[in-house]
Amino acid sequence: MIEHPIEPIYNENSKILILGSFPSAKSREQLFFYGHSQNRFWKVLSLVLEEKEPETIEEKKVFLLENGVALWDVIASCDIKGSSDSSIKNVKANNLSVILDNADIKKIFVNGKTAEKYYNKYIKEKIGREAICLPSTSPANAGWALEKLLEKWKIIKEIK
């Protein structure tokens, strides 16, 4: 069983919550979200929000908070082999109230089908809120070109 090692990023000004499934091996190693160099999360979000792409962990935190974006994952702990979403078992979900009670979240988005699957299974009914599924920014989702990802992810800008 692997525990989620990263604290959620949010503040009282967060309007959008983006949830991944569970940190990749690289992200767990770096102790920050979307740490794999080939994950397109930071590139996509910075292009959608028309901001410079953040590079350091500190820049990423500031970028998220300045843009009203809260970031966390659906899963608090699970059994997983490396970074393989298909190997996820024995899921325990995160308690989103830590964010939802302290920020005025207008919309919840999930980054990919795995996050959507576990959100719908463990969280949706508890909090009574739908999540909009965006195509995964993972390098495993190579079928989605950057332009296609941007087209779908631009919905975030409409919420801000």
> How high does pLDDT run on average in the chain?
95
Amino acid at residue number 115: A
pLDDT digits (tens, 9 = 90+) for 108-149: 999 999 999 999 999 999 999 999 999 999 988 888 999 999
Check whether 159 has a pLDDT greater than 80.
Answer: no
pLDDT digits (tens, 9 = 90+) for 39-89: 999 999 999 999 999 999 999 999 999 999 999 999 999 999 988 888 999
Residue 117: predicted pLDDT: 97
Taking each continuous run of H as one helix and of E as one strand, the counts in the chain are: 8, 7
Contact indicator for 160, 15 with CB cutoff of 8 Å: yes
- Go through the domains of the chain in sequence order and give each one's CATH number: 2-159 (3.40.470.10)
Place 160 in a pLDDT band, splitting at 50, 70 and 90.
low
What would you report as the CA-atom Rg of the chain, rounded to the nearest whole angstrom? Answer: 14
Contact indicator for 9, 61 with CB cutoff of 8 Å: yes
Whole-structure pTM value: 0.96
